[in-house]
A and B are shown apart, each in its own frame.
Chain A
């Protein structure tokens, strides 16, 4: 059975590092479901959040260790879904032509916990946060309008505990907190 694994990789901010990390997945023929890179609370430290699906936990542990081996990688954590708090963000651009079905702002707000972030002349942009499943469900709901564009971010996640599948903490933490 395929299980979701979320791999958080902390790195120094170096040119080309994204490539160095992704080739580890490529080499082992693992498809990356989503990947986001962002700054962290520590200056000069970037955080990669990579989601993969795999049936073999041991395989993922090995993968995590291979990532740790990259010289510019500071720490790597592999998580199962219940070990993290995670979210995604989606934007929907919906056609609202004259005479069409009006957008039901109240339902979108209250029932779907989404919000309209931009009103165009003949369209609106709706933002929805949530899990992949939440967003998928919302997508289905929005289908009664014409969806002009749809985009979804990769997963962002923070661990519930400090422990992941394989834990490697740098031995010294001298980074300045931003």
Chain B
């Protein structure tokens, strides 16, 4: 280390006529930006940077994944936990294209990421050189910003800009494509890293306009049946306390979106569950009975609204959102408030009246009771032979006291997990919402564990999704981090099967899986695990999983053809929700 520092210092002396190489400048920029973890995979066009990384190992922890997609999802899990950009480092061509799925996922789920990808030498650009691919072109629709670096001197400024854009406003992924030339060339000036504070063409509004806040407060104060939809924006802004203060004062019932889940204690008396396709009965139906709908940090995704022409038409809409292009995009806002959720709620709090809305709240209770009788009870206290997903998740919730970080993949188990895990702690759900990326959970759980090693991190994954990125078991094993993995195995691509059953006349088209022996696979990677199929063993099995101080895989054999309810049919009206 000493030697490196001396070299770096020496290299920064102008009179020595030797400045940092572009590759060193990348490393130095990361260090000065405060990055300490990189998820990556080396290869030809990024080798100069990996060579520089060799000298920075004491300051930058690099985690070698098994596939670039794993690096991306791990960086997402990491970013979601810490609310700062996850960093990926991969090579050009296929290395970079493998990152596209996580980048697209991060774009839809507003996750800050800085992806540094290698590129062929500048003089080879556009020649179909080995492992050349136009990543700027490919990533353009799925990044918040991207940039190709051909000049080593640009590196500090571009890196600073990348982090600023990724982390501010509505966060998102940024891709920096760095030619091999820019990595190997020496800078022509001393390295200087100035953190980016503003960009002339990019001015995310944090503080909302006072008149907009006043208009929103007026609507809220006049409401008899107000209803809050709290989204991911609450968690990104760290506005959980502000949300609670606001709710406690106004007595307004709150539903959280899939990604906004855990922004409110699941046992809070004003918490009414979640809206959307597999959300709660009351949370959906009463959207069409409220008089003022207060959406905070959410974007009215079609999985929430169903048919827009029948969605909340009776309600005045207050939309608090940092991204102005989301306002009026799907649902017309009567009182838009562009700004950060935390700032907006702080501004609103003194302007809103104290209220109780007990009658209105009781309506949610009525629907809850019906849902409990028709669905929840059957899911949790099921008497058939096979374990149901719901009871497994419920038991996990009880055993972890609702305090674990839960990372889910995509499909039935995801919906079930969000139904039955009772989140007690803020920022505890990591899931692929907008993109619905199967294969997300295993690497994302690993990334989350890297970010918050002190917290219990449990990945809940289906048997289908697990097989999309299971090679990351190798990464987990190598790190030794005790990531807890649950496979809810029903030998089906369950959600697709459910749709085929309900909407395609039982025509099961390619949804049944012949699965491998997951435990043997885990053992092959050096990860212990076992299978449970008997209800009597479920509790002990979860204890074994949770008590392990090493990574552990628990395979739970579940009922094969279980369906997730409630369900709003795709594109249907929220009141057309089915309970069976």
Closest to A69 in B: B325
Whether B384 sits at the interface, judged by CB under 8 Å, is no
Q: Nearest Cβ in chain A — how far from B499, in angstroms?
A: 26
Closest to B161 in A: A71
Whether A140 sits at the interface, judged by CB under 8 Å, is no
- Residues of the A chain whose Cβ atoms lie less than 8 Å from the Cβ of B525: none
- Residues of the A chain whose Cβ atoms lie less than 8 Å from the Cβ of B329: 62, 65
Whether A15 sits at the interface, judged by CB under 8 Å, is yes
Partner of A15, one of B145, B148, B165: B148
Given the known interface contacts A23-B140, A71-B145, the answer about A66 and B201 at a Cβ–Cβ threshold of 8 Å is no
- Residues of the B chain whose Cβ atoms lie less than 8 Å from the Cβ of A66: 325
Assess the B324–A172 pair: CB atoms within 8 A: no
Closest to A14 in B: B147
Whether A97 sits at the interface, judged by CB under 8 Å, is no
Whether B197 sits at the interface, judged by CB under 8 Å, is no
Closest to A16 in B: B136
Q: Nearest Cβ in chain B — how far from A174, in angstroms?
A: 7
Q: Mark A3-44, 1 if CB is under 8 A from B, else 0.
A: 000000001100110011001000100000000000000000
Measured in the bound complex, the distance between the Cα atoms of B145 and A176 in whole Å is 25
Q: In B426-443, which residues have CB < 8 Å from any A CB? A: none
Assess the A170–B201 pair: CB atoms within 8 A: yes
Q: How many A-B Cβ pairs are below 8 Å?
A: 47
- Residues of the A chain whose Cβ atoms lie less than 8 Å from the Cβ of B323: 69
Closest to A166 in B: B324
Assess the A71–B141 pair: CB atoms within 8 A: no
Whether A171 sits at the interface, judged by CB under 8 Å, is yes
Closest to A58 in B: B328
Q: Nearest Cβ in chain B — how far from A73, in angstroms?
A: 6
Whether B503 sits at the interface, judged by CB under 8 Å, is no
Tally of chain B residues near chain A (CB < 8 A): 19
Measured in the bound complex, the distance between the Cα atoms of B329 and A58 in whole Å is 9
Assess the A16–B140 pair: CB atoms within 8 A: yes
Measured in the bound complex, the distance between the Cα atoms of B140 and A23 in whole Å is 8
Tally of chain A residues near chain B (CB < 8 A): 23
Closest to B199 in A: A71
Whether B510 sits at the interface, judged by CB under 8 Å, is no
Whether B200 sits at the interface, judged by CB under 8 Å, is yes
Assess the B203–A170 pair: CB atoms within 8 A: yes
Q: Mark B140-156, 1 if CB is under 8 A from A, else 0.
A: 11001100100000000
Q: Nearest Cβ in chain A — how far from B575, in angstroms?
A: 25
- Residues of the B chain whose Cβ atoms lie less than 8 Å from the Cβ of A47: none
Whether A74 sits at the interface, judged by CB under 8 Å, is yes
Measured in the bound complex, the distance between the Cα atoms of B203 and A74 in whole Å is 9
Measured in the bound complex, the distance between the Cα atoms of B325 and A27 in whole Å is 15
Q: Mark B315-337, 1 if CB is under 8 A from A, else 0.
A: 00000000111011100000000
Whether A72 sits at the interface, judged by CB under 8 Å, is yes
Q: In B296-347, which residues have CB < 8 Å from any A CB? A: 323-325, 327-329
Measured in the bound complex, the distance between the Cα atoms of B329 and A168 in whole Å is 17
Measured in the bound complex, the distance between the Cα atoms of B146 and A23 in whole Å is 14
Whether A68 sits at the interface, judged by CB under 8 Å, is yes
Measured in the bound complex, the distance between the Cα atoms of B327 and A137 in whole Å is 43
- Give the most central of A19, A27, A68, A71: most B CB within 10 Å: A71
Assess the B201–A73 pair: CB atoms within 8 A: yes
Assess the A62–B141 pair: CB atoms within 8 A: no
Assess the B325–A62 pair: CB atoms within 8 A: yes
Measured in the bound complex, the distance between the Cα atoms of B53 and A60 in whole Å is 47
Given the known interface contacts A170-B201, A170-B203, the answer about A65 and B144 at a Cβ–Cβ threshold of 8 Å is no
Assess the B200–A12 pair: CB atoms within 8 A: yes
Assess the B328–A62 pair: CB atoms within 8 A: yes
Closest to A10 in B: B201
Q: Nearest Cβ in chain A — how far from B299, in angstroms?
A: 13
Assess the A72–B201 pair: CB atoms within 8 A: yes
Assess the B325–A68 pair: CB atoms within 8 A: yes
Measured in the bound complex, the distance between the Cα atoms of B324 and A35 in whole Å is 25
- Residues of the A chain whose Cβ atoms lie less than 8 Å from the Cβ of B199: 71
Closest to B326 in A: A65
Measured in the bound complex, the distance between the Cα atoms of B16 and A140 in whole Å is 72
Measured in the bound complex, the distance between the Cα atoms of B136 and A65 in whole Å is 23
- Residues of the A chain whose Cβ atoms lie less than 8 Å from the Cβ of B136: 16
Assess the B140–A71 pair: CB atoms within 8 A: no
Closest to A26 in B: B141
Measured in the bound complex, the distance between the Cα atoms of B200 and A73 in whole Å is 9
Closest to A27 in B: B141
Partner of B202, one of A19, A61, A71: A71
Assess the A71–B325 pair: CB atoms within 8 A: no
- Residues of the B chain whose Cβ atoms lie less than 8 Å from the Cβ of A61: 328
Measured in the bound complex, the distance between the Cα atoms of B139 and A19 in whole Å is 11
Partner of B324, one of A65, A73, A171: A65
Given the known interface contacts A16-B136, A16-B140, the answer about A171 and B203 at a Cβ–Cβ threshold of 8 Å is yes
Whether B137 sits at the interface, judged by CB under 8 Å, is yes
- Residues of the A chain whose Cβ atoms lie less than 8 Å from the Cβ of B203: 170-171
Q: Nearest Cβ in chain A — how far from B105, in angstroms?
A: 17
- Residues of the A chain whose Cβ atoms lie less than 8 Å from the Cβ of B200: 12, 74, 170, 172, 174
- Give the most central of B165, B201, B328: most A CB within 10 Å: B201
Measured in the bound complex, the distance between the Cα atoms of B324 and A65 in whole Å is 7
Measured in the bound complex, the distance between the Cα atoms of B502 and A71 in whole Å is 43
Measured in the bound complex, the distance between the Cα atoms of B203 and A68 in whole Å is 11
Measured in the bound complex, the distance between the Cα atoms of B201 and A69 in whole Å is 10
Partner of B165, one of A20, A27, A65, A71: A71
Assess the A71–B201 pair: CB atoms within 8 A: yes
Partner of B144, one of A11, A71, A174: A71
Q: Mark A148-174, 1 if CB is under 8 A from B, else 0.
A: 000000000000000000000011101
Measured in the bound complex, the distance between the Cα atoms of B324 and A123 in whole Å is 54
Measured in the bound complex, the distance between the Cα atoms of B201 and A73 in whole Å is 6
- Residues of the B chain whose Cβ atoms lie less than 8 Å from the Cβ of A20: 140
Measured in the bound complex, the distance between the Cα atoms of B199 and A74 in whole Å is 10
Q: Nearest Cβ in chain A — how far from B203, in angstroms?
A: 6
Measured in the bound complex, the distance between the Cα atoms of B323 and A141 in whole Å is 51
Other than the given A61-B328, A68-B325, 11 more pairs (CB < 8 A) read A12-B200, A12-B201, A19-B140, A20-B140, A23-B140, A62-B329, A65-B324, A65-B327, A69-B325, A71-B145, A170-B201
A interface residues with partner B (beta carbon < 8 Å): 11-12, 15-16, 19-20, 23, 27, 58, 61-62, 65-66, 68-69, 71-74, 170-172, 174
* 5 A-B residue pairs with CB within 8 Å: A15-B148, A20-B140, A62-B329, A65-B324, A72-B201
